[in-house]
Structure 1
Amino acid sequence: MIIGIVLYSISLIGLLVSFKKSKENTYVSLKKAWNTFQKLLPEILFIMLLVGVSLSVLTPELISKLLGQQSGFLGVIIAMIIGSLALIPSFVVFPLGETLLNNGAGLTQVAMFVAALMSVGLVSLPMERKMFGPMFAYARNGAALVMCILFTVIIWMVY
């Protein structure tokens, strides 16, 4: 909460400094920001809906069943798919990974799940395409998936 207050305070101070330097440029910037927000609002609401559904449907117990040590390579594939599709806030991902490990999920499967959750964003892909263009969005997600696979192979070899 304190970090949020600090970040909002810095933003407000920056806005006031900008306003003092040039009211006209500040108004133009705020108008552009508002227009961008309005364009992205449907995607943001959809993502928030999916986050709520995924947090209620994908319980740690269900994921542990799918990602147990006995699930092997299939469990890694399932972890990659679920991690790529699920939208869970980053501050929840690592405690969730620990919970999964404590409930019997395999380390390799959890490594893939956490890596995919943090880097691959198939649900947010439409918004990313709109903001950065399709070429960048597909390239970023593809590269993230390759890095997840490499990371998981390293964890599997070390573990």
Structure 2
Amino acid sequence: MFTLLLYLLALGGLLISFGKDRHKTRLALMKGWKAFTNILPDFAVVLALIGIMLTYLSPHTIAALVGKNSGFPGMLASSIVGSVTLIPGFVAFPLAKSLLDRGAGIMQMAVFVSTLMMVGVVTAPLESRYFGKKETILRNSLSYVFSFIVAMIIGMVVGA
């Protein structure tokens, strides 16, 4: 129901924009479509990999690798995968939920999502060009450590 409301609000905003300035609205829609088609191949690959992974990894395997009882080694494995993976947030959170439903631990998924959002091993070369090597290493290192702190706090709050 809430999703329907958001779609209706978006449609209403689009109609208001179209009424105010048809040309700008068409340009905005074309830019949006171009951005969508540019990201679609990467997004499709990520979704396919996630689908394949969830198909072939049983809940027992997921629980053994990153389950509640995997402890710190499971958190470490999740953090490494999160640090080197480049997945947008709108894919990361549903993926974490799917993994939780299949036996992953709360703290393991918290550190996974935190490192995924904050640590950028893949993007480090680009970041170091703009901000410098020292700043990039410092930011990524602090983000990595902070991800574990966040995961432990979430584990205490949720009671994992």
TM-score by length of 1: 0.64
CA distance in 2, matches of 1:120, 1:73: 17
**What is the aligned partner in structure 1 of residue 5 from structure 2?**
6
Q: Which runs of 5+ in 2 are unaligned?
A: 131-135
The one-letter code matched in structure 2 to 1:55 is L
% identity of equivalent residues: 27
| 1:4-62 deviation line (CA, Å, top 9, x unaligned) | 21111111001000000000110111111111111111111111112212222333211
Query: Does the aligned pair in 2 maintain the 1:119–1:144 contact within 8 Å?
Result: yes
Q: For residue 19 of structure 2, what is the aligned residue in structure 1?
A: 20
Alpha-carbon RMSD across the aligned residues, in angstroms, is 4.0
Alpha-carbon distance in 1 for matches of 2:143, 2:57: 22
Give the residue type in structure 1 aligned to 2:7.
Answer: Y
> In the alignment, does 2:144 pair up with 1:145?
yes
Matches within 5 A, 1:82-93: 82=81, 85=85, 90-91=93-94, 93=96
Q: Are residues 1:111 and 2:107 paired? A: yes
Q: Which aligned runs of 4 or more in structure 1 are off by greater than 4 angstroms?
A: 68-72, 82-89, 153-159
Contact 1:67 1:76 in 2 (8 A): yes
Listed one character per residue, the Cα deviations across residues 94-128 of structure 1 (whole Å, up to 9, x for unaligned) are 5753763xxxx7xxx64033331365169xx97xx
Distance 1:156 1:9 in 2: 37
Question: Gaps spanning 5+ residues in structure 1: where?
Answer: none
Say yes or no: does 1:31 pair with 2:34: no
TM-score w.r.t. the length of structure 2 is 0.64
Q: Give the distance between the partners of 2:45 and 2:2, measured in 1 at CA.
A: 26
Any residues of structure 2 matched to 1:123-134 within 5 Å, and which?
134=126
